[in-house]
Structure 1
Amino acid sequence: MLPETLIRLLEVGDDYPEAEIIGLDLSPIQPEYVPPNVHFTVDDVEADWLHAPNSVDYVHVRNMAPALKDWPRLLSQAYRALKPGGWFEMQDLVFDFLCDDGTVTETYKPREAMRYLTEALATFDVDVNIARNFAGYLESAGFTNQIHDMRKVPVGTWPKDPDLSAIGDYCRAVNYDSLGAITNLPFTRGLGWSRLRVEVFLIEVRKDLLNNSFHPYHYYHSYSSQKPLQQKE
């Protein structure tokens, strides 16, 4: 099964056949069959960008908050690579579980896990919740015409609305399946936990995730901002 982000990249290639689409990842994720205008590069987005100045129309970064340390540098490189009038888009969630009906408290294990994750990644100089205040980073980098959209994303099938319930089912599956990947290294190296302690803790986290008596949601942020058409002297 292909990752959702990769599927979307292939869809963009199909929808815009006149555009050249470049996907960048640390791992070789390219599937066997791709549209002719879609290309993949194995690279580190925090390394020096090889794109020529003013050569790119659009830069999209999604769900990278737990992985990036130096957002100002990334934005500086994106600004340099973008053509005047080009757009930068960042999408990410806030790593917390909230609710509006009191069912989620401080003892809710997934919420406890996110507190530990925030603490652990901070030891690596990573701000996992940068989506809360990303607007200032865009402004400091020189971007203008900022658009910020924030939405509640349910976790679980508890919403009465069938569309939101389906979204919540998918979001819960993503949380459930990614728990080990996003916690093992931060908890063992950042917090000094043993692998056994991590696994025992995650049993309780997964148990609460599957309990529909809790009604949690995430805030998901989307920021879009434009490189000015005219550059300041």
Structure 2
Amino acid sequence: MGVPPNSLRRHGERNALPDLRDFQFTFDFHDAIEPDQFAMRMIDDDESLSSSVLDYPEEFGRTYHAYHAGSYVYPNDLTEQERLALQGPIIKRLFDDRLYFAPLSPSDPPQFILDIATGVGDWAVEMGDLFPSSRVVGTDLSPIQPDMVPPNVEFYVEDSSEPWSYSDKFGYIHTRLTAGCWSSFEEQVAQQAFDALEPGGWFEAQETEAFFCCDDGTMDPDGPMCTWFQEMRDACEKLNRPATLGSSLKEMFERVGFVDVEQLVFRLPLNAWPRDERLKDLGWMWGQNFSQGLNGFSTQLMNRAYGRTQDEIELSLVRVREEILDPRVHAYMPIFVVFGRKPFIGEMVE
């Protein structure tokens, strides 16, 4: 399977070591959360990653990706890498320890698996361990993935908003929490995934919706949290990187041509307010993770969109953090999982 011409190898050598009430939510308990009182072409060993890709620009005390600099407004520094490394396990635990929901066969797994916007690469590494006979490829704008990975896992520097040109087809393609990365998820990701899949292959998107939700009136719709998220959504629209994604995925998949499309919707609490112990733990972890990410989510985006200074932005986040972590506020975020199959050749599709 050929690497697109605009892809850069992760290293010069190969890896050495192996209001959503209309949605049917997916739960393992009753309706409400109760508050508590590729056979990739191998690049020659002497072909090193361009130094310019590693020359990260610094702004507002954070570093950002250098490859196609400026197209992604969130940082890639150690602070963000640590946050991402904790984000993945939270989502996996929300999913009852599942990495995927598409009906992949453990006895006959996909030969080639692609993880778009892989981040720190944790999902790709786990999939490589789970399917040792599969070739797992993760792509991202920043080479921030680990060196010590299973022998069937590889990472490439790639701008997936550009045309994909893989010479062979994948059996499964995956995205997770990429809202705000694309000018058009449908054209740049869903359509290209459809084209890059083999007939019968699956595409799965695990994406949030850029809203805080609350079912019992304990969150002020005009308070710091909701105000911040509205400004974030507006800023993303100004910069042509819409953040509202999850609820539109199912229709998007069907428009592109996927069949057997299924949707699951999970509620992820924003602090430790639920009575259920599992959700209480998840909420505490997600609230801490989200609070830690607020600076990175906000600074460059709001500076570009509104011209605010770093100090102005950080001051406005103080009350947002306080409200996010207040267990009297029974807020949650919806997480959408949508997967669909590329039809087989000659298959009749209604």
Give me the TM-score of the superposition, normalised by structure 1.
0.94
Deviates more, 1:165-174 or 1:185-194: 185-194
1:57 equivalent in alignment to 2:171: yes
Q: Deviations over 1:72-92 (max 9, x none)?
A: 322221111100000011111
In structure 1, list runs of 5 or more residues that go unmatched: none
Distance (Å, rounded) in 2 between the aligned partners of 1:72 and 1:164: 32
Measured after TM superposition, the shift of residue 209 of structure 1 is 1.6
Residue 31 (structure 1) aligns with: 146
Distance (Å, rounded) in 2 between the aligned partners of 1:226 and 1:232: 12
Residue 184 (structure 1) aligns with: 299
1:215 equivalent in alignment to 2:327: no
Aligned residue pair count: 232
Residue 229 (structure 2) aligns with: 114
Residue 68 (structure 1) aligns with: 182
Contact kept, 8 Å, 2:164 with 2:192, in 1: the verdict is yes
Q: 1:66 is aligned with what amino acid?
A: G
Distance (Å, rounded) in 2 between the aligned partners of 1:8 and 1:79: 21
Higher relative contact order (CA 8 A, sep 6+): 1
Q: Deviations over 1:15-65 (max 9, x none)?
A: 110000001111112212100000001111111213125x10011011111
RMSD of the alignment, in Å? 1.7
SS in 1 for 2:214: coil
Residue 194 (structure 2) aligns with: 79
SS in 2 for 1:179: helix
SS in 2 for 1:196: helix
Q: 2:158 is aligned with what amino acid?
A: D
Residue 216 (structure 2) aligns with: 101
Distance (Å, rounded) in 2 between the aligned partners of 1:154 and 1:8: 22
SS in 1 for 2:221: coil
Which of 134, 141, 152 matches 2:249?
Answer: 134
1:164 equivalent in alignment to 2:279: yes
Distance (Å, rounded) in 2 between the aligned partners of 1:72 and 1:158: 35
CA 1:156–1:60: 2 relative to 1, 3 Å:
same
Measured after TM superposition, the shift of residue 6 of structure 1 is 2.5
Measured after TM superposition, the shift of residue 231 of structure 1 is 5.1
In structure 2, list runs of 5 or more residues that go unmatched: 1-81, 89-119
Q: Percent identity?
A: 28
Residue 342 (structure 2) aligns with: 227
CA 1:90–1:111: 2 relative to 1, 3 Å:
same
Residue 155 (structure 2) aligns with: 40
Measured after TM superposition, the shift of residue 232 of structure 1 is 7.4
Q: Please state which structure has a larger fraction of its residues in helix.
A: 1
Measured after TM superposition, the shift of residue 191 of structure 1 is 2.1
Contact kept, 8 Å, 2:212 with 2:331, in 1: the verdict is yes
Q: 1:206 is aligned with what amino acid?
A: R
SS in 1 for 2:190: helix
Contact kept, 8 Å, 2:173 with 2:203, in 1: the verdict is yes
Distance (Å, rounded) in 1 between the aligned partners of 2:222 and 2:190: 37
Measured after TM superposition, the shift of residue 182 of structure 1 is 1.2
CA 1:231–1:105: 2 relative to 1, 3 Å:
farther
Give me the TM-score of the superposition, normalised by structure 2.
0.63
Which of 239, 243, 249 matches 1:124?
Answer: 239
Measured after TM superposition, the shift of residue 210 of structure 1 is 2.0
Distance (Å, rounded) in 2 between the aligned partners of 1:57 and 1:108: 45
Residue 153 (structure 1) aligns with: 268
SS in 1 for 2:267: strand
